[in-house]
Amino acid sequence: MEAATKPKRGAKGASVTDRELAIQLGSLMLHCLGGRGGDVLRVIDESGLTFVQMKAVVTLQGAGDEPPATVSALAETLGISAASASRAVDGLVKRRLATRSEDSEDRRVRRVGLTAKGAELADRIISARLAGLETFAASLEGRERVKLADALSTLMEREDIAELHSRNQLRASRRERPA
């Protein structure tokens, strides 16, 4: 708790606590993805999926050309128990959004992949999220845009964020290609 209340110095010497920075980031996220910024919450709500199921669908869609995930790998990626991941996958399979199949090399292992219906839903969720962010980006004035781009450029240097950014760029370029 102490770390959240201890101010840290920014580039211009201004101090901000971890908590205040988190509140600011949360406010920005709600603005970009909530009622004014996009349809992502509506798309998720209309899908009828639980939060874990929604995360699983988007994660499985993000796997791209990789082999279908195992339930345990999906659990690890989502930061949930294997039992929770298995229940989420069961629900997705019942809704015909995902398939569960036997691994060709190890019959004890079950692989999980999205059906065409599941991939379409994941694309709608991802597209709605991106649309909200694009609406926000388009609303920025010149100075705001430059400052945000500079801050994001710095964060993109972090290995964990750079990897996600690379995957998201690849996904976005796949969606932009004409059929």
**Domain shared by 51 and 115, yes or no:** yes
Compute the average pLDDT of residues 122-131: 87
Residue located via tokens 């009622």: 35
Would you state the structure tokens that stand for residue 87, as one six-digit string?
């229940």
Burial 38-55 (b: 16+ CB within 10 A, else e): bbbbebbeebebeebbbb
Residue 101 lies in a domain: yes
30 Cβ contact list (under 8 Å, min separation 6): 37
Residue 95 lies in a domain: yes
- Strands 8-9 and 15-16: what pairing? antiparallel
What percent of the chain lies above the pLDDT cut of 90? 40
**Domain shared by 54 and 84, yes or no:** yes
Query: Domain range holding 52?
Result: 41-120
Residue 23 lies in a domain: no
**Domain shared by 116 and 145, yes or no:** no
Most confidently modeled of 1-5, 57-61, 95-99? Answer: 95-99
- Position with higher pLDDT, 34 vs 165: 165
- Strands 110-114 and 69-70: what pairing? antiparallel
Residue 108 lies in a domain: yes
Q: Would you say residue 165 has pLDDT above 50?
A: yes
Q: Can you tell me the distance from the alpha carbon of 142 to that of 1, in angstroms, rounded to the nearest whole number?
A: 37
CA angle 135, 141, 143 (to 5 degrees): 130
- pLDDT confidence bin for 3, thresholds 50/70/90: low
Residue 22 lies in a domain: no
pLDDT score for 179: 47
Cβ 85 vs Cβ 40: under 8 Å: no
Q: How many structural domains are present in the chain?
A: 2
**Domain shared by 104 and 47, yes or no:** yes
Compute the average pLDDT of residues 29-50: 78
Could you tell me the CATH number of the domain that includes residue 89? 1.10.10.10
Residue 91 lies in a domain: yes
**Domain shared by 50 and 95, yes or no:** yes
- Position with higher pLDDT, 149 vs 171: 149
> Considering only 37-51, 69-83, 84-98, which range has the smallest mean pLDDT?
37-51
